[in-house]
Structure 1
Amino acid sequence: MPMVSTGRWQPVLTSPRWRAVAAVLAGALPALAFPEPSLWWLAYGALVPWLLLVRSATSARRAAVEGWLGGAGFLLAVHHWLLPSLHVFILVLAALLGLLWAPWGVLVRRLLGASPGPGRTAAALVLVPAGWLMVELVRSWEYLGGPWGLLGASQWQVPPALRLASVGGVWLVGFVLVAVNTALAALLSAPRARPAAAAGLLACAVAVTGVWAWAPRPQPAGSVRVALVQPGVIEGADSVQRRFDREEQLTRELAGRDVELVVWGESSVGQDLAHRPDLGRRLAALSRTVGAEVLVNVDARRSDRPGIFKSSVLVGPDGPTGNRYDKMRLVPFGEYVPARSVLGWATSVGKAAGEDRRRGDAQVVMRLPGTAGELRVGPLVCFESAFPDMSRHLVGDGAQLLVAQSATSTFQHSWAPAQHASLAALRAAETWRPMVHATLTGESTVADARGRTVGRRLGTDASASAVYDVPLARGTSPYVRSGDWAVYGSLAALAVFCAAEGVRLARRRVSGPVPPRG
C-alpha cells in the first residue's frame, strides 16, 4: 500500500482501532453491487480495499482479525434490512458468521503480503478466490443463514456473467470476481507481482470471452402463458380474509386471457384447505372461470400432520389436484429458531418465529395435464430460490418451468424485495429453464432461460395481476450436467496448498532455524 509510509496517514493505517474500522467498512463495500443500488460493476474492484488492508497486516493474527471484521461488515451490509426484525441479534449473528473469513484473511496475507513474486501471485489468483468460495459454501448451509448475498449473485443482469453461471453456477461467477479483485490488489501493491497480475486479468478476460463465444445455449421449445397475482400489503385484524378476497378478485379478471397457469404468492392462503373446504371450492371455481390451474401457497396447521407447514398446492377445476410441495428449507429465526432452548430469547427482542414451522421431506415436480404436452413445474418457496442446488435438482428431475412463491411484507421498503427478485434471473441462467417469481408482496418478475427479464416487473407498490408469455427451452445446461465443479476444484486447490504448507513447515522444523547472514 503506497500510503502506509506517508506521514500523516501513518498513525491511521497502523493503529489497530482505525484498521478495525477500516476493515468493517471495506468488507461492507461489496454490498453496493447488489440490488437495490445495483452497482454491479463495483463488484470487480470492491474487494480491493479489503485485500490491501489485510495483506499489510503486521501478523497472521492481525490478518485473521481484519478478515473476521470485514466478513462481519459484509454480512451486516447485505442483511441490514433484518435489523427491524432481529434488532441487536443481527450484530451477534454477523460477528459469529464473520469468523468464517478469519482463515481467508490469513491466506490473503500469506500469499499477497510483503513483496510477492510471480509464483506467489499466480498462486494467489487461484487460492484467494478458492478460499472465498469455501467461506460462501459454509455460510450457505441453511442452518447458518443460507446463500443470501453470494458475490456472484450481484451480476444477475450482466449477460456474460449469466453465461458463466450456465457453465459453473453462481460459484464460477464469484470465483472470477474475486480473481479479478486479487489481480488488481497485486497490481497496486507489489511491483514484482505486476506481470503475473496482468496475466491473471488477461486470463479472466479470455475465459469469460471463451464462454460467451463457445458455450452451448438453450434451444427454444414453445411457450406457456402464466399469470401472476400480487395482492400487495394488506394489514389489519382480518388481513388473511381480505387478502384472499383480493387475490380472488384479481384472478377473476384473468378470465378470457387464455392463461395456462395462475400463480399466487407465499402464504396466499392462511387456512388448511382440508379444514376450510369452502376455500377449496372457491379456488376450484376460480380455476373453472379462468380455464387454468391455480398454484397457491398454504401457510397453516395441517390436518393430516402435526405442526404448521408452508405448502405449494395446485388447485384445478375439481379442487386440489393432489400436487403438493411442503417447504424444506426454512428461514432461520423467521420460520424457526435454531437451538430454541438456547436462543429462544431472540423472540423477546425481535420478530423471531414464536413456533417453529415443519419441514417437507422431498422436492416435487408437478404436472399440469391441462397444458399442451403436460407442463412440468418445479415449485420453490421464498428463501429456497437462493439455493442453486434446489433448482438444479428440480430441472434434473424434469421440471420445464421453475416457480418461486415469495412474500417480503416485513421488508417491503428495504433492499430485500429487489435482491430476492434478481435471483430468478440467476437460477434461470444456471438451469436453462425460465423462472417465475410470484410474490404476495414485494417484486414479482419472470426470467427466460438465459436470465433475461420477460415483460414488466410488478413493483412493491403494486396490487395487480399480470400475464406473461414465458418462452420455454430444452437442453441441459453444463451446470445442471456437471454440478458444483467450481467448488470442488477450489476445495482441491486449497487441499494441495495446505499439504504443501505442511511439508514446508515440517522441513523447517527438521532443518532448524536459518543462521543470520554475515
Structure 2
Amino acid sequence: MLGGLSLWLAFPGTAWWPMAPVGVMLMSLSTIGTTARRGFLLGLLGGLACFLPTLHWSGIYVGDTPWIALSVTESLYLAFMGMAIAVVQRRGAVRPGAVAALWVLQELFRSNVPFGGFPWARLAWTTADSPLVRFASIAGAPGLTFVVALLGALLALVVFRLATGQLSLLRLLVPTAATALVGASAFVVPVPTEGKPLQVVGVQGNVPTTGLDFNAQRRAVLDNHVATTKQAARMVADGKIASPELVVWPENSSDIDPTRNADAATGIAQAVGAVGVPVIVGAVLQEPAPKVSNTSMLYLPGRGLVDQYVKQHPVPFAEYMPYRSFFRQFSDKVDLLTTEFAHGKQVGVFDIPTRSGTVKVGPVICFEVAYDAVTRAPVDRGAQLLIVQTNNATFGYTAESEQQLAISQVRAVEHGRSVVHISTVGVSGLITPDGVVHDRSELFTRKVLAGELPLRSAKTMADRWGAIPEYVIGAIAGLLVLIAWRRTRGERATVRRTGTSAPGGGVDPSDKADESTTTPSQTEEEARD
C-alpha cells in the first residue's frame, strides 16, 4: 500500500517525481519470495492506494460509484502485474529487468483494453518536470515507463541486499552504480529545441460555471472566446504581444454548431476577422445524426471553414456509453449521457498558411493526448506543431488539469514538437520541444497565452521506432513470466518426488512434510498457487 501511495505522490497534484521509483521499489520488495496469490493481493492494494486518490477527479460531479469503479478497474492491472512479479521473484531475489518489463506490459494492456483502454496515471507521466523526461525521445512513453520502473527495481535490489546481509562491495556496488548510471545518462540524451519560430496565441476564454452544467450556458462560453480573441487583437495593436500567425481555441469553445447556427458562425467570423490570422476552433457538430462530433475546425480569414478533424477516440462512459443497459444496473448516472459522440475515422493534419510558408499542425482533442498512437499519427504525417484542445470545466478545481498538461509535456519531448495545450478553463500552456511550459495559466481564469514556438520536422528515435519497443519489451516480460512459472512447477515436482526443498528458496523448508501427511488436495492447491 505504501508503494501505491508513493506513486500517487509522484503524479501532478503533488508532483514529487522521485516518489515514482520509490513506489516501484516498495512494490518490488513486497513481492520477493511470495506466492502468486499474495502478489495479486499486494498489487491490488498498491493499485487502489495509487488510483483512488489520483483519479478522484473522475467522480467530482458524477458521484463516487464511477470514480471507485474506474479506480478498481485500473487497480486490477496492477494486481495481475503483482502476481507476475511474484512469479519471477519467487526464488527470493529482485529481478530489476523483469520488473521494469512487466510494468511496460501492464501499461500496454491498460492502455488498450477494455473499450480502447485508459492510459492515465502511467509511470511516464510522472517525469514531466524531471531530467528523466529526456528518455521519451528515445523509446516514447513506454520506454520512459521502463526507465522509471528500472530505477525503482534497482533501488529495491540495493535495499534487499543490505537487508539480507549481502554486504560485499561488488554485490552492492553493481546495482548502485547501475542506478546512478541510468539516472545520470538522462542528462546526455539530446533534446533539440531549435526550429523556425511561429508566433502563436492560445485563447482560454473561461466558462460561466464549473461542473457538468457548464455547457448549459454554451452561448456565454462561445462569447467568452470571441471576446478574448478580440482582446488579443487589441493587445497586438497596443504592442503588448507580437502579432500571431495562428490562434487556437480549446475543446468545447463552441458547443453551438457553427455550421448550422448563423449566430455562432458570425461570432467566430468576427473573431477571425479581428486577429486576421488562421483560428482553430473546438466545436461540437450535430452530425452524424443521431450522434454528434467533437471537432477541431480550421478557419482562415476571408475563406471561413476550410478543414476539420473529428475526435477519433471518444471517452467511454463520458462521450459514449458502451453496454448502457448493463451498466445501468450499477448506476443510473449512465443516463446523464443522452447524446453519444461519433468516432472520427481520419488523422488530422491542418495546412496553416503563415508569413513564412505553410505549417502543418496536428490537432489532438482532450484525452486523446494520453494515447500513444493517436499523438504519433499526425507527426508521422508531417505535423510540425501539435495542438491539444481540452475542456477541464467538468473536473472542477482538481489535479486532472495538471495531470493532462504533464502528459502534453512528455509528448513534446517524445515527438520533438512544440505543443499548444489549451483549455477552456486551464491549466493551459505553450510547451517547447524540451517539455518546458511557457505562459502557463491558472484554473478558471480568462487568459491570452502568447509566445514564439519553434517548429521542427525531424523525427525523434521514438517516432521512427513507433510501438516496436513497447511490444518487444512486453513480449520479453511475458516470456520471463512463462519461464519462471515453468521452473517453479518443475521445482515443486522435484519436491513432491524427493521430499527436499527446491534450490534458491523456491519452497520453504518448513514445507518438507512427510508424504504420508500431505493430502492430494494440498498438493494440487500448491501447484495452482
TM-score normalized with structure 1 length: 0.86
* CA distance 1:133–1:198, shift in 2 (3 Å): farther
2:160 aligned residue: 189
Deviations 1:23-71 (A, max 9, x none): 3x532331111112111122221233333333364x3212212212222
Separation in 2, partners of 1:350, 1:32: 31
Residue 217 of structure 1 deviates from its aligned partner by 3.9
In the alignment, the residues of structure 1 paired with residue 122 and residue 276 of structure 2 have an alpha-carbon distance, to the nearest angstrom, of 40
2:373 is matched with 389
Structure-2 residue corresponding to 1:275:
260
User: Are residue 449 (structure 1) and residue 441 (structure 2) matched?
Assistant: no
Partner of residue 285, structure 1: 270
**In 2: Cα distance, 1:126 partner to 1:499 partner:** 15
SS at match of 1:374: strand
Structure 1: distance between partners of 2:423 and 2:215: 21
Q: Determine the C-alpha separation between the residues in 1 that align with 2:267 and 2:472.
A: 52
| Equivalent-residue separation in structure 1 for 2:120 and 2:405 (angstroms) | 12
Q: Which secondary structure state, in structure 2, belongs to the residue aligned with residue 335 of structure 1? A: coil
Equivalent residue of 1:220, what SS? coil
The alpha-carbon distance between structure 1 residues 408 and 238, as it changes in their structure 2 partners (threshold 3 A), is: closer
Q: Which structure 2 residues correspond to residues 198-277 of structure 1 after superposition, within 5 A? A: 198-210=173-185, 212-213=187-188, 215-218=189-192, 220-235=194-209, 239-255=217-233, 256=237, 257-277=242-262
Q: Secondary structure of 1:323's partner?
A: strand
Residue 426 of structure 1: how far off its partner (Å): 0.6
Q: Helix, strand or coil for the counterpart of 1:413?
A: coil
Q: How does 1:110-125 map to 2 (within 5 A)?
A: 110-113=87-90, 115-116=92-93, 121=94, 124-125=95-96
Distance 2:102 2:172 in 1: 18
Amino acid at match of 2:208: I
Aligned twin of 2:317: 333
Match of 2:142 in 1: 171
Aligned position for 1:74: 50
Aligned to 2:121: 149
Q: Tell me which residue corresponds to 2:132.
A: 161
Deviation at 1:82, TM superposition (A): 1.4
CA gap 1:282/1:410 in 2 versus in 1, 3 angstroms: closer
Alignment partner of 1:26 is 2:26: no
Change (3 A) 1:150 1:238: closer
1:98-153 Cα deviation digits (max 9, x unpaired): 2222332223333445643xxxx4xx111111111111111112726521111111
Partner Cα distance (2:150, 2:317) in 1? 34
Aligned equivalents of 1:129 and 1:310: distance in 2?
Answer: 37
Calculate percent identity across the aligned residue pairs.
25
User: Does the 8 A contact of 1:33 with 1:43 survive in 2?
Assistant: yes
More displaced, 148-157 or 275-284?
Answer: 275-284
CA RMSD, aligned part only?
2.6
Distance 1:489 1:153 in 2: 21
Q: 2:340 aligns with which of 348, 356, 368?
A: 356
Match of 2:364 in 1: 380
Deviates more, 1:37-46 or 1:428-437: 37-46
8 Å contact 1:232–1:441 — kept in the other structure? yes
Contact 2:285 2:294 in 1 (8 A): yes
**Distance in 1 between the 2:33 and 2:486 partners?**
26
Shift of 1:326: 0.4
Question: Do the aligned partners of residues 248 and 45 (structure 1) sit closer, same or farther apart at CA in structure 2, a change above 3 Å counting?
Answer: same
Deviations 1:379-438 (A, max 9, x none): 011111112222222111000110011111121211111111122211100001100101
Shift of 1:514: 4.4
Q: Work out the CA distance in 1 between the residues paired with 2:380 and 2:481.
A: 35
CA–CA separation in structure 2 for the residues paired with 1:147 and 1:371: 38
Amino acid at match of 1:482: W
Q: What is the number of residues matched between the two proteins?
A: 484
**1:308 Cα offset (Å):** 0.9
- Report the CA distance between 1:238 and its aligned residue: 6.0
Q: State the SS of the aligned residue for 2:195.
A: strand
**Among 12, 15, 40, which residue is 1:35 paired with?**
12
SS, match of residue 338 in structure 1: coil
**Matching residue of 1:3:** none
The separation in 1 between residues aligned to 2:64 and 2:279, in whole angstroms, is 38
2: CA distance, partners of 1:484 / 1:199: 31
Give the alignment of 1:12-23 within 5 angstroms: 23=1
Question: CA offsets per residue over residues 440-473 of structure 1, 9 Å max, x none?
Answer: 112110111121223x211103212121111222
Post-superposition shift, 1:281? 3.1
2:126 partner amino acid: S
Segments of 5+ residues of structure 1 without an aligned counterpart are: 1-22
How has the CA–CA distance of structure 1 residues 253 and 103 changed in structure 2, closer, same or farther, with 3 Å as cutoff?
closer
1:130 corresponds to which of 90, 97, 101: 101
Task: For 1:325 and 1:71, locate their aligned partners in 2 and report how far apart those are by CA, in whole Å.
Answer: 36
CA spacing shift, 1:357–1:429, aligned 2, 3 Å: same
1:185, distance to aligned residue in structure 2 (A): 2.2
Q: 1:398 & 1:425 partners in 2: Cα distance?
A: 20
* Contact 1:314–1:324 (Cα < 8 Å) also in 2: yes
Q: Relative to structure 2, which stretch is displaced further, 235-244 or 505-514?
A: 505-514
SS in 2 for 1:46: helix
Instruction: Check if 1:515 corresponds to 2:501.
Output: no
Structure 1: distance between partners of 2:19 and 2:497: 45
Question: 1:284, 1:316 within 8 Å by CA — same for their partners in 2?
Answer: no
Secondary structure at the counterpart of residue 45 of structure 1: helix
Tell me: CA distance 1:113–1:512, structure 2 relative to 1, closer, same or farther (3 Å). closer
Match of 1:212, as an amino acid? F
Report what 1:403 is aligned to: 387
What letter matches 1:421 in structure 2?
Answer: L
* Alpha-carbon distance in structure 1 between the residues aligned to 2:153 and 2:431: 32
CA deviation after TM superposition for structure 1 residue 439, in Å: 0.5
1:94 and 1:77 map into 2 onto residues whose CA distance is 9
Distance 1:86 1:218, change over 3 A: same
Q: Distance in 2 between matches of 1:363 and 1:165?
A: 22
Structure 2 portions without partners, runs of 5+: 501-511, 513-529
Name the counterpart of 2:524. Answer: none
Q: Secondary structure at the match of 1:404?
A: strand
- Asked whether the 8 Å contact 1:164–1:208 carries over to 2, the reply is no
Partners in 2 of 1:479 and 1:161 — Cα distance? 15
